[in-house]
Structure 1
């Protein structure tokens, strides 16, 4: 089952996407569809067909976001998280070869923006990091075998007026 957790930043981005689709993009494409339809024969009208297809794509995304946003649970920072890795944490890790990475554990809905530092709460790396502390050694099982990582630092984004 897909996780329903999301960071406040991720939630705000999805809400902004929904507003942009509904208030900006959809009305603009609807105008184009109506204009193209007014030209007559729709079967050979590329503008009409393309924009109609785009409108269906926007409507699908609007329906999905509307439904998904109702299911999501925003997870805000709480002081009790300090010192350990939990959902929403930024974690700096390093391996024996000196390779360093900074990752943020986020919900599956936040991976869509392909942010190179975001990893899903459901990923093997995130599962291995959860509840660990600075200087802990973490074993991560990957398709290429077991990898060892060390936690160098943990930090959280703190938001004003945060409430679930």
Structure 2
């Protein structure tokens, strides 16, 4: 990884919770089902065995990915941000475009980004353009729909 995997404490807790649920609950149940299915004889036409092995590979792949992301994670608490007058990691920002459409978004780690909830990944084009901005600053962003200019209207931290 060439850049740090910044994440909020809540985002890290969500990754850890998913990992614990998969590793502590779902995987042991799946291994037990596969073991039971293997004991039933012919494995070539045993749906429980075939599906169970496939699901176990998917689950192990997800566990590996979660483990790697948690090891690379650098947990940053937005409430401890020193310069709260500028947009940094964890900031909740209200921006306005050229048509005076207001939008509120929060800059979070890439693993916890969800545009529908207003959570923008730290390395997204919009987040990169807003980094370091203060209230009243204009920032130009190249988006897939074309270039847009946004004005920072408000900045808040939890």
If the length of structure 2 is used for normalisation, what is the TM-score?
A: 0.88
Q: CA 1:121/1:79 → structure 2, altered by over 3 Å: closer, same or farther?
A: closer
- Residues 131-161 of structure 1 show CA distances to partners (whole Å, capped at 9, x for unaligned) of 111222221112333211121221223xxxx
Alignment of 1:99 with 2:101, yes or no, is yes
Alignment of 1:126 with 2:127, yes or no, is yes
Q: Which moved more, 1:144-153 or 1:84-93?
A: 144-153
Q: Tell me, yes or no, if the aligned pair for 2:94 and 2:152 is still in contact at 8 Å.
A: yes
Match of 1:161 in 2: none
Q: CA 1:115/1:125 → structure 2, altered by over 3 Å: closer, same or farther?
A: closer
Match of 1:80 in 2: 82
Output the CA distance in 1 between the equivalents of 2:33 and 2:100: 54
Deviation at 1:2, TM superposition (A): 4.9
SS at match of 2:90: coil
- Residues 37-94 of structure 1 show CA distances to partners (whole Å, capped at 9, x for unaligned) of 1211111111111111111111111122223212211111224231210011111112
Output the CA distance in 1 between the equivalents of 2:145 and 2:135: 25
Alignment coverage as a number of residue pairs: 155
SS at match of 1:67: helix
Output the CA distance in 2 between the equivalents of 1:128 and 1:110: 19
Segments of 5+ residues of structure 1 without an aligned counterpart are 158-164
Q: Tell me, yes or no, if the aligned pair for 1:85 and 1:132 is still in contact at 8 Å.
A: yes
Runs (4+) off by over 3 Å: none
What root-mean-square deviation, in Å, do the aligned CA atoms of Structure 1 and Structure 2 show?
1.7
